[in-house]
Amino acid sequence: MEKRESIERHYNKWGYIFIIPFLIAFILFQLWPMINTFYFAFCDMKHCDYSETPKTLMSLGLPWYKNFADLFDTNTFVISVKNTFFFWIWQTIPEWILAFWLAAMMTDRRLKIRGRSFFKTAFFFPQVMIGTTVGSNIIWLFLGFAASSTAFSLTAAAINGFGVTEKDFEFFMSSRFMIIVVGAFLHYGITFIYAVVGMTSIPVEIFEAAEIDGSSRLHTFFHVTLPCMRPILFFIVVISVVDGLTDDYAASMLGNQYDTARRTVTMREYLDKLVGFGSAYDRGSAFCLILLAMSAVISGLIYFFLIRDRYEAKLAREIRKEKRMERRLKAGKAN
């Protein structure tokens, strides 16, 4: 018994040693910048030299929330928030529908689709294109042509005689619609991979029981698959919220080139403009805290109202209530 405990301590020691490089990198490149971000959000850095420590707003006799108030007073910030939520909602809906539909098809035992490994790789390929020069050029050419006058004229000629005017089709040729299409196309692959992982982690016996009971594919998906993959579903929600609020890939490629009404400026683009000037690090840090709060609140609301198991939560409340009653009874007997 003592020898076994000695071996376990030996292996645990090496586990801690192997994790040291990650901890050092995390502290230097993530934790320390995060701490500075919290500090700078409540500082005045407009006339601050890089060699000196920024002074807090309260030490200068200013309200601690001044950087946040300055952001909300900026018209571009309000517009960027509206645009970001517009793009995020309209990208997430088709992205999730496509990703979960394909994941359900690839994991369905009754369909017996051949070449599933190839299709899984092909569906994830658009996500890989984001980080490559060739992929960026292809997307840029597609966006540039789709929003050009040539594409608009060709579309107008194609719909001529069908009772549809150019004005009715104008939104589908706008930069906002193209950003939505490209955003959903680029991000559905990673959501598809997460959904496949969640569906394949469900025991096969559960699906077999649903088949024996005569459950249809649609009924099985909504009443068996989704409830059983709640943990990974919450992870997908958090990733989608964070990516949606910080995404500016398609918008930065197309929107700024033609946008004169600031209809494609996102929160990430506005943040990049803030931190691009040394005098705006304080407002940029406040902006990051706003993004963090938005991500946490939206993810929490989606989980609380759509994903969490209400029966399990009710059962946990009943258990806590019984434990409180037991403690009260014991306290009453002791007195």
For 275-311, the pLDDT digits (tens) are 765 557 788 888 888 888 888 888 888 888 777 777 7
102 shares a domain with 7: no
Domain membership flag for residue 305: yes
Would 207 be classed as within a structural domain? yes
Least Cα distance to 220 among 233, 235, 202, 238 occurs for: 202
Domain-embedded: residue 286:
yes
Here the CATH number for the domain that contains residue 155 is 1.10.3720.10
12 lies in the same domain as 129 = no
The pLDDT-based confidence of 61 (bands split at 50, 70, 90) is: confident
Three-point CA angle 215, 217, 223, nearest 5°: 65
CA distance 44 to 157: 57
CA 182 to the chain's CA centroid: 16
Take residue 243 and report the two structure tokens written for it: 């990516």
Question: Does residue 183 share a domain with residue 94?
Answer: yes
Q: Is residue 116 very low, low, confident or very high in pLDDT (cuts 50, 70, 90)? A: confident
Q: Are residues 30 and 121 in the same domain?
A: no
Range of the domain at 292: 79-329
228 part of a folded domain? yes
In this structure, what token pair is assigned to residue 122?
């092909």
Same domain, 32 and 86: no
Residue 72 lies in a domain: no
pTM listed for this prediction: 0.75
Pair 20, 126 in one domain: no
Per the CB < 8 A criterion, the answer to whether 143 and 253 are in contact is: yes
The answer to whether residues 90 and 215 belong to one domain is yes
Return d(Cα 186, Cα 118) in angstroms, integer: 18
31 plus 96 within the same structural domain = no
Please name the residue that has the structure tokens 């209400």: 310
The model's pLDDT over 189-204, given as tens digits with 9 standing for 90+, comes to 888 988 988 888 888 8
User: Are 105 and 253 in a shared domain?
Assistant: yes
Q: How crowded is residue 148: how many other Cβ atoms within 10 Å of its Cβ?
A: 13
In a domain, 48, yes or no: no
Of 115-129, 143-157, 207-221, 252-266, where does the model show the most confidence? 207-221
The domain tally of the chain equals 2
Identify whether residues 13 and 104 lie together within a single domain.
no
Asked whether residue 90 is assigned to any structural domain, the reply reads yes
The dihedral through the CA atoms of 37, 42, 47, 52 has a sign that is negative
Provide the mean pLDDT of the chain: 78
**Pair 164, 19 in one domain:** no
Residue 128 lies in a domain: yes
First to last CA, the chain: 45
Q: Please tell me the predicted confidence (pLDDT) of residue 237.
A: 86
3/151 same-domain check = no
Give me 77's structure tokens. Answer: 């910030």
